[in-house]
Amino acid sequence: MSKFYGFGFCKDCDVACTSGNFLDFQGKRYCVACWIEKGNPEHPDLEKVREKVASAAEEWKCAKWSREEGPLPLGPKAHKN
């Protein structure tokens, strides 16, 4: 099974994109905060949105689980064994 590295990074601020916090436009990926800033720089909650996107990225990075952190769980056995 291939390793899942995430949804990529924002073109402008290089924050990791998480599920529901990014959009693709003309082949480029933007986080929600950069997209709002691009369309409406005077948005009243821009800093709150930027903080939410950054905290979601940090939470997602902490939630990942890899082989280095412990053994893989025992999954279903093959039917031939």
Ordered domains of the chain (ranges, CATH): 1-59 (2.10.110)
Residue in 51, 49, 24 with CA at minimum distance from that of residue 36? 49
Residue in 40, 30, 26 with CA at minimum distance from that of residue 7? 30
Distance CA 68, CA 70 (A): 6
Phi, psi angles (nearest 5°) of residue 76: -65, 140
Percent of the chain's residues with pLDDT above 90: 27
Sequence-ordered strand ranges (E) for the chain: 22-25, 28-31
pLDDT at 42 over 90: yes
Instruction: Give the pLDDT mean for 51-68.
Output: 73
| pTM score | 0.65
Residue in 53, 33, 56 with CA at minimum distance from that of residue 43? 33
